[in-house]
Amino acid sequence: MVETSSRDHNAEAVIGHGGALKIGVLALQGDFIEHIHMLKKLGVEAFEIRKASELEGLDGLIIPGGESTTIRKLIDLFGFVPGLRALANRGAALWGTCAGMIVIAKELTDPYPEPLGLIDIKVSRNWFGRQVDSFEGEFAFKGIDGGPFLAVFIRAPVVESFGDSVDVLARLEDNGKPVAVRSGNILATAFHPELTEDTRVHEYFVSMARQAAASKSTAGAS
Amino acid sequence: MDSTSASGTAVNGKAHARAWREGSKPEVGSWREKSGLAQMLKGGVIMDVVTPDEAKIAEDAGACAVMALERVPSDIRRDGGVARMSDPDLIQGIIKAVSIPVMAKARIGHFVEAQILEALGVDYCDESEVLTPADNAYHINKWEFKMPFVCGATNLGEALRRIGEGAAMIRTKGEAGTGDVVQAVTHARTVLGHIKKIQHMDEEELMTEAKNLGAPFELVLEVHRTGKLPVVNFAAGGVATPADAALLMQIGVEGIFVGSGIFKSDNPEKMAAAIVKATTHYNDPDSLAEYSRGLGSAMKGIEVNKMSDDQRLEKRGW
């Protein structure tokens, strides 16, 4: 940990009660370290998940940016599919960023990779074109206060269509295509909050995981 | 290597980009996106391919990107002659065949080859010592491009000079086309060791260190502050087995390039998948033992320590 200066008051803001929250980041390939770094900034216990058995007991899981084709193949190769479905079904918070959004979608406009179908959205991959067309811009994000969010898009997808269960949290300004969506315990963003210094989307996800943990302990007590 | 500060360095890097590219437009092809794509490749394996079929094999094995080439380095070494940028038809054939990013090589200093690669829609340009250098004194001014660049380095000064010129990703040079990992290890240890040394220096020492390294002072300062390179750092050159890949990951690089090591082995499909898996579970010897089984022969290779200096591609670059 080098950037001691950026460890700020956010930590106190999100550390809740009721024991330590456990959030994992799928660390098969991609920018998982950046997510871990953001979570640690918020004072959350964050774990690199490299084996399916490590999914047990997590209150939340982030599937990071990376190469969606690669991450999807590694999910199969290392036997993660049942564990990921179980995690989503038991109500733990799940967040896919960019490649992660593609992996958890219900449907893609491309024939492959075969998505996991955990959130009712249809996603178009590399919608903005190849790398030279990556860009960044500012967006309003529903449920997040404090002004617009700087979003970094890298060979990013967009949501083409979505089911009734899905709430749109952020859209592209020019054509209204959704780039951040939520359905219950599942969050998906086309962009990369982990590549900025702004921790607000991570705070949003941590509060989702906190809700998941709270309902788990309530269920356990009853 | 401490990589927990990476999200901060993207911003610092961008500040450098802004300072050095006065009047440029930051929204498209900005430093954050260029180095950001490299962040997306981390923990992954980038494989040299010479045909669309090989590119599919690499993608199916879990490669996170491919390098489109006419000849792999071991063949370039064998054939001799001048090695240049690949034919646009070949590169575009490979771009069409896969959905993962496609990289291609330009000669050192050959900015027109780089312009052509950018026009073709290549995702990343490797300004590479594997090709015959086109300029004896200067590298490409990589800030001029929207397309990001990866460059080779044998030591920290060279790495920081390339980043100063706008490289968004660094790889060790190793000794390409040999199947001998010794130089990749040497370069990774040299770069990472020097980073640790700078991290623990007093600030007074940094200007002289920058002078000795031949590196931009601001970047030396950033290495001192963060304890890592301002961009992603992969290993390349001579990786031939899953164990080689895991060795370099444990030493502290963030991902692996495999050149001749896949398609010059007995069983490219198996070797490719095994190296991908070993790069993810690089710290787990039980898994590595499993991945190393039954792969057939790795590429035959050449022992680097028995090569003469004029055969060494790593010496190219200024």
pLDDT of the residue at A69: 93
Please state the rounded mean pLDDT for residues A117-138.
79
pLDDT of the residue at B5: 32
A195 and chain B in contact, CB less than 8 A? yes
Give the integer Cα–Cα distance in Å for A11 and B291: 40
Encoding tokens for residue B117?
Answer: 């690669």
Architecture of domain A20-221: 3-Layer(aba) Sandwich (3.40)
Asked if residue A188 has pLDDT above 50, the reply is: yes
Mean pLDDT over each residue of chain A, to the nearest integer: 87
Domain ranges of chain A: 20-221
Asked if residue B279 has pLDDT above 80, the reply is: yes
User: What is the predicted ipTM?
Assistant: 0.84
- DSSP codes of every residue in B184-223: HHHHHHHHHHHHHHHHTS-GGGHHHHHHHHT--HHHHHHH
Measured CA to CA in angstroms, residue B194 lies from A66, B34, B47, B159 at distances of 29, 25, 28, 11
Query: Are the beta carbons of B33 and A40 separated by less than 8 Å?
Result: no
pLDDT of the residue at B308: 87
Element (H, E) at B272: helix B268-280
pLDDT of the residue at B239: 96
Q: Which residue of B has its CA nearest to A34?
A: B7
Asked if residue B206 has pLDDT above 70, the reply is: yes
pLDDT of the residue at A133: 62
Neighbouring C-beta atoms of residue B93, cutoff 10 Å: 15
Confidence band (pLDDT; 50, 70, 90) for B24?
very low
Query: Are the beta carbons of A78 and B273 separated by less than 8 Å?
Result: no
Query: Are the beta carbons of A37 and B27 separated by less than 8 Å?
Result: no
* pLDDT 10s digits, B36-61: 778 899 999 999 999 999 999 999 99
Q: Are B206 and B224 in contact (CB under 8 A)?
A: yes
Encoding tokens for residue B82?
Answer: 């001048």
Confidence band (pLDDT; 50, 70, 90) for B29?
low
Mean pLDDT over each residue of chain B, to the nearest integer: 89
Q: Select the more confidently predicted residue: B146 or B246.
A: B246
Asked if residue B226 has pLDDT above 80, the reply is: yes
Q: What is the CA radius of gyration of chain A?
A: 16
Nearest alpha carbon to residue B25 among B33, B218, A129:
B33
- DSSP codes of every residue in B50-75: SSHHHHHHHHHHT-SEEEE-SS-HHH
pTM of the model: 0.87
Asked if residue B198 has pLDDT above 70, the reply is: yes
Please state the rounded mean pLDDT for residues A199-214.
95
Between A and B, how many CB-CB pairs are < 8 A?
Answer: 152
Q: Are A178 and A171 in contact (CB under 8 A)?
A: yes
Catalytic-labelled residue, pool B14, B105, B173, B277: B105
